[in-house]
């Protein structure tokens, strides 16, 4: 059984190391989406209100095991301070003198954030001893450990897997809530149940498709991955994103869905552009005429078309449980954001459970003007959520007592 905060007992006066997922997008040192920072607040506030001395640890980006200014958590410390309404001490290193001073300076109900964990090669090391040694240095900062970054629980890393074995450990509220929602999507979902998948590559979603097909009533396919499905049905797709090596696998899934009585909704029309650019000339074509444009076989599909968006929205609105992972098109370009926006609007009308999963989908809804509270749940899990839905083992959860 998953150990939760209550299992740690009274935390007043104790140092609690909290592994958050504060891996936010940055542009010129400015956070462009603070969703993951806000998602960490319930657990952090609970610990601070309990009188704990909170030491937050996280990674950001993919530095090469050494300090790199572009991946510093300094902007996150500032934003976290603003959201908490109280100072956040920022340590300039992970386990060095700066970190020791920051932790030693904490009083009850105060918080510090250590620098990017991945500035230390021990965090992601494949060598068990090196990883364990780094975890032991982190453990020296705490009397207890709370894991609250669902987006990393599929990683066998020092702060995720080794550290909770060295201190009394439990899951934070974010992980507990994420698990509850994911189990509702896999164990006994309320029906009708629709899954909407987008994003660029079908290969990223094959495990999810295979695991969920026997559990869903409808599977809606958009994004760049749709063109591999169309190619599997014999359509020409121009210069659109295509994974030819996955066509046979897609054919098997289409046949499997038919045997199971699962509806797979594929696009009827797509938005075809002259090039991959925000201001590219573009037209709408039915899927059997993608190359019947002024651009010929050079045309590239960048969004689902309006007929498809309307059909998807109708099916979503009629469902009681909906899981959506991956945008329907290149939503970063206004001209190719309509499909994603229509799907997002439809999710806000779901009477049961609507779940937005994956960083790109969460970023899309915020970029398109939606607020988090318009949806049942915004997942911060990313790849970890997908691996859960594939039925894979998650080492960062198993060390907290959870069993799938």
CA distance 204 to 376: 24
122 is catalytic: no
Residue 53 sits at φ, ψ, to 5 deg, of -100, 105
H or E element at residue 249: helix 247-260
118 annotated binding-site participant: yes
Catalytic entry in 38, 201, 298, 307: 201
Residue holding tokens 């009083």? 107
136 annotated binding-site participant: no
85 CB burial (10 A radius; 0-12, 13-18, 19+): exposed
79 is catalytic: no
Q: What are residue 169's DSSP bridge partners? A: 145
4 CB burial (10 A radius; 0-12, 13-18, 19+): middle
18, 172 contact by CB (below 8 A): yes
59 annotated binding-site participant: yes
332 annotated binding-site participant: yes
Q: Is the dihedral of CA 66, 67, 69, 73 positive or negative?
A: positive
60 annotated binding-site participant: yes
201 is catalytic: yes
115 annotated binding-site participant: no
CA distance 336 to 325: 17
22 annotated binding-site participant: yes
**356 SS3 class:** strand
105 annotated binding-site participant: no
285 annotated binding-site participant: no
360 annotated binding-site participant: yes
326 annotated binding-site participant: no
CA distance 108 to 328: 47
Catalytic entry in 236, 383, 392, 401: 383
Residue holding tokens 């289409």? 254
274, 299 contact by CB (below 8 A): yes
CA distance 275 to 299: 7
Catalytic entry in 3, 15, 36, 79: 36
33 annotated binding-site participant: no
380, 388 contact by CB (below 8 A): no
111, 89 contact by CB (below 8 A): yes
Catalytic entry in 359, 381, 382, 396: 359
198 annotated binding-site participant: no
Residue 124 sits at φ, ψ, to 5 deg, of -110, 10
36 annotated binding-site participant: yes
151 is catalytic: no
Catalytic center residues: 36, 201, 359, 383
What residues form the annotated binding site?
21-23, 36, 59-62, 118, 155, 205, 301, 332, 358-361
Residue numbers in the known binding site for (2R)-3-phosphoglycerate are: 36, 118, 155
Binding site for substrate: residue ranges?
Answer: 21-23, 36, 59-62, 118, 155
């Amino acid at each position: 059984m998953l150990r939760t905060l209550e299992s740690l007992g009274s935390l007043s006066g104790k140092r609690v190391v909290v592994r958050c997922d504060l891996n936010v997008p940055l542009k010129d040192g400015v956070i462009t989406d603070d969703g993951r920072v806000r998602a960490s607040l319930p657990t952090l506030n609970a610990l601070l209100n309990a009188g704990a001395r909170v030491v937050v640890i996280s990674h950001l980006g993919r530095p090469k095991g050494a300090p790199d200014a572009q991946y510093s958590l300094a902007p996150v410390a500032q934003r976290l301070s603003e959201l908490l309404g109280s100072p956040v001490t920022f340590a300039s290193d992970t386990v060095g003198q700066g970190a020791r001073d920051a932790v030693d300076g904490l009083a009850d109900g105060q918080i510090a954030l250590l620098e990017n964990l991945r500035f230390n090669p021990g965090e992601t090391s494949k060598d068990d001893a090196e990883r364990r040694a780094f975890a032991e240095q982190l453990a020296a900062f705490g009397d207890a450990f709370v894991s609250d970054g669902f987006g990393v629980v599929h990683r066998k890393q020092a702060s995720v897997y080794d550290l909770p074995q060295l201190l009394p450990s439990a899951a934070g509220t974010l992980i507990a809530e994420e698990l509850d929602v994911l189990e509702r999507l896999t164990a006994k979902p309320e029906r009708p149940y629709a899954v909407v998948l987008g994003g660029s590559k079908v290969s990223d979603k094959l495990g999810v498709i295979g695991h969920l097909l026997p559990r869903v009533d409808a599977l809606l396919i958009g994004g760049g991955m749709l063109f591999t499905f169309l190619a599997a049905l014999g359509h020409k797709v121009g210069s659109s994103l295509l994974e030819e090596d996955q066509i046979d696998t897609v054919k098997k899934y289409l046949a499997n869905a038919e045997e199971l009585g699962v509806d797979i909704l594929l696009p009827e029309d797509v938005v075809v552009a002259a090039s991959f650019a925000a201001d590219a000339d573009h037209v709408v074509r039915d899927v059997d005429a993608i190359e019947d444009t002024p651009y010929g076989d050079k045309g590239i599909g960048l969004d689902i078309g309006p007929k498809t968006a309307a059909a998807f929205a109708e099916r979503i609105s009629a469902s009681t449980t909906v899981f959506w992972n991956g945008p329907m098109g290149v939503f970063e370009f206004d001209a190719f954001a309509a499909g994603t926006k229509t799907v997002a609007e439809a999710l806000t009308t779901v009477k049961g459970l609507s779940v937005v999963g994956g960083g790109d989908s969460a970023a899309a809804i915020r970029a398109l003007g939606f607020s988090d509270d318009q949806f049942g749940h915004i997942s911060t899990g990313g790849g970890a959520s997908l691996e859960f839905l594939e039925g894979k083992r998650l080492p960062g959860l198993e060390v907290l007592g959870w069993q799938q």
